[in-house]
Amino acid sequence: MNIGIIGSGPVGQTLGMGFVNQGHNVMIGTRDPAKLSDWLSRAGTNGGIGSFSEAAAFGNVIVVATAWSGTENAITLAHKDNFKNKVVVDVTNPLDFSQGTPRLATTYPTSACALIQTWLPVSKVVKAFNTVPAPIMVNPKQLGDATLFIAGHHDGKAFVRSIAEKWGWSDIIDMGDINAAYWVEMLAMFVIQYGFKSNNWTFALKFLRK
């Protein structure tokens, strides 16, 4: 499968390598190709870099892994036609850093995922992987049996589940449709606050139930 990734930070690079290690072809879209030289050397022949529009056109599935402040512009630069009828995995969190510490840039019931779905109305948008620090996303078993929370379009969730299980996620909780993505983003805020407070990003959530 061809995977297009919009965003070239640690999250985009981590997920990109996770897809490469599963044998998929990956193109990361970036404004700064130079910072991906190390990633490209590790990805080998299954990895590539390009513009946002090139990555979106390349992918059968598209991952949005941008900082929230640049997400709408990145999608515009990627050309919305390139997203039509595709699964779009939204890994963003709607963070506002204007006052130093991260705060929510959206208010209930609006989520980043719901906004992306309105920007891409014929895409299959699903929220996933945003509640776990990047180092854990493609290797959760390093911590044990962590829980992954997802929400959004039915077809998107089926794809995410299949990929996540191959990465080692065995406890995947489907929170519901696109409206439930707000609550998944609230869980991410807890994770982010703990990470900044403890200066520790090697952890994950575990949801215990009977």
At position 142, the amino acid (one-letter code) is Q
Q: What is the pLDDT of residues 16-72, one digit of tens each?
A: 999 999 999 999 999 999 999 999 999 999 999 999 999 999 999 999 999 999 999
Q: Are 123 and 83 in contact (CB under 8 A)?
A: yes
**What's the pLDDT at 40?**
97
pLDDT score for 100: 79
On the question of pLDDT at 73 being above 90, the answer is yes
For residue 80, the model assigns a pLDDT of: 97
- 3-state SS, 37-95, equals HHHHHHHHHHEEEECHHHHHHHCCEEEECCCHHHHHHHHHHCCHHHHCCCEEEECCCCE
- The average confidence (pLDDT) of the chain is 96
Asked if 150 and 96 count as a contact pair (C-beta separation under 8 A), the reply is: no
- pLDDT given at position 102: 84
For residue 127, CA distances in Å to 17, 96, 148 come to 19, 19, 11
Q: What pLDDT is stored for residue 138 in this prediction?
A: 97
Q: Is the pLDDT of residue 99 over 90?
A: no
Please compute the mean of the pLDDT values over residues 94-122 and round it to a whole number.
Answer: 91
**For 75-101, what is the mean pLDDT?**
94
Confidence of residue 139 (pLDDT cuts 50, 70, 90): very high
Mean pLDDT calculated for residue range 156-166: 96
125 phi/psi in degrees, rounded to 5: -90, 135
Q: Could you tell me the pTM of the whole model?
A: 0.96
In this prediction, residue 101 carries a pLDDT of 79
User: CA 205 from chain center: how many Å?
Assistant: 17
Range in 18-32, 71-85, 93-107 the model is least confident about? 93-107
Burial class (CB in 10 A: 0-12, 13-18, 19+), 177: middle
Residue 97 pLDDT level (bands cut at 50, 70, 90): confident
